[in-house]
């Protein structure tokens, strides 16, 4: 039975995927800063769930990841979901810095740790990262979030290139969701093409199983992202994205 580690499993996509897999008898190792929901899943599926409290912004996070891998009995798949984001119309510097610290620095720290596990143990594996359609271009109301997601996608590309150079048998998948109704979204707003967790969760699991190089969720956002890529910067900065409701 394959074993999957989910980093960022306390809410949203991470928690939903964790419960879906555990309910099917998949061995899951769960990690997040807050462990209340992880503990409840452990109580519900005691034979299939292990967990640890891990803050990806802390330097000791890779060491705790190793402990979680040992408790889980191995790691065939590393699934990184941990991330934060919110509208920052006032451009509060601390808020921007915290987003970058979690979504970029923390992402690099843990993806690197996962890669090193496979490389050092000479073990085949799979690394899956949740990035975002927002990483396609800089978005006015969420500059740090959109930039950090672009960083994450580029980091996955770099790791995959390194794996090929070093002949490490690891596959990589960059999952790019659009707007999903999770705690990241403004609860007082609705969004065009907004998706529910019930709709998104099986699509994410399918992407993990099929492991394409890049998977947009869903096809509408793939079309949107490809259109955005065609817009040159001088036009993009004049694009009325706020009026279209396409920000957090």
Instruction: Pick the closest to residue 229 from 215, 239, 243, 244 (CA basis).
Output: 239
pLDDT at 244: 54
pLDDT at 237: 86
SS (H, E, C) the chain: CCEEEEECCCCHHHHHHHHHHHHCCCEEEEEECCCHHHHHHHHHCCCCEEEEECCCCCCCHHHHHHHHHHHHCCCCEEEECCCCCCCCCCCCHHHHHHHHHHHHHHHHHHHHHHHHHHHHCCCCEEEEEECCHHHHCCCCCCHHHHHHHHHHHHHHHHHHHHHHHHCCCEEEEEEEECCECCCCCCCCCCCCCCECHHHHHHHHHHHHHHCCCEEEECHHHHHHHHHHHCCCHHHHCCCCCCCCCCCC
pLDDT at 74: 97
Q: Say if residue 132's pLDDT is above 60.
A: yes
Q: Region 156-177: what's the mean pLDDT?
A: 97
pLDDT, tens only, 63-113: 999 999 999 999 999 999 999 987 777 888 999 999 999 999 999 999 999
Max alpha carbon distance in the chain (Å)?
A: 55
pLDDT at 242: 64
pLDDT, tens only, 183-218: 776 666 777 788 999 999 999 999 999 999 999 999
Predicted TM-score of the model (pTM): 0.93
């Amino acid at each position: 039975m394959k074993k999957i580690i989910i980093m960022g499993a306390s809410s949203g996509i991470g928690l939903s995927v964790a419960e879906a897999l555990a309910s099917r008898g998949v061995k899951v190792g769960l990690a997040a800063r807050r462990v209340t929901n992880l503990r409840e899943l452990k109580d519900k599926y005691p034979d299939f769930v292990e967990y640890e409290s891990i803050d990806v912004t802390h330097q000791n996070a890779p060491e705790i990841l190793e402990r979680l891998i040992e408790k889980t009995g191995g790691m065939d798949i590393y699934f990184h979901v941990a991330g934060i984001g919110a509208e920052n119309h006032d451009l509060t510097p601390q808020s921007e810095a915290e987003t970058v610290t979690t979504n970029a620095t923390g992402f690099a720290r843990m993806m690197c740790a996962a890669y090193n596990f496979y490389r050092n143990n000479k073990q085949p594996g799979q690394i899956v990262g949740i990035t975002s359609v927002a990483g396609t271009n800089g978005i006015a109301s969420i500059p740090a979030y959109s930039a950090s997601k672009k960083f994450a996608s580029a980091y996955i590309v770099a790791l995959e290139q390194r794996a090929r150079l070093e002949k490490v048998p690891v596959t990589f998948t960059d999952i790019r969701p659009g707007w999903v109704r999770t705690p990241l979204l403004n609860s007082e707003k609705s969004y065009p093409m907004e998706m529910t967790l019930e709709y998104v969760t099986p699509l994410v699991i399918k992407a993990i199983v099929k492991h394409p190089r890049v998977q947009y969720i869903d096809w509408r956002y793939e079309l949107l992202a490809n259109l955005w890529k065609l817009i040159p910067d001088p036009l993009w900065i004049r694009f009325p994205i706020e009026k279209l409701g396409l920000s957090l």
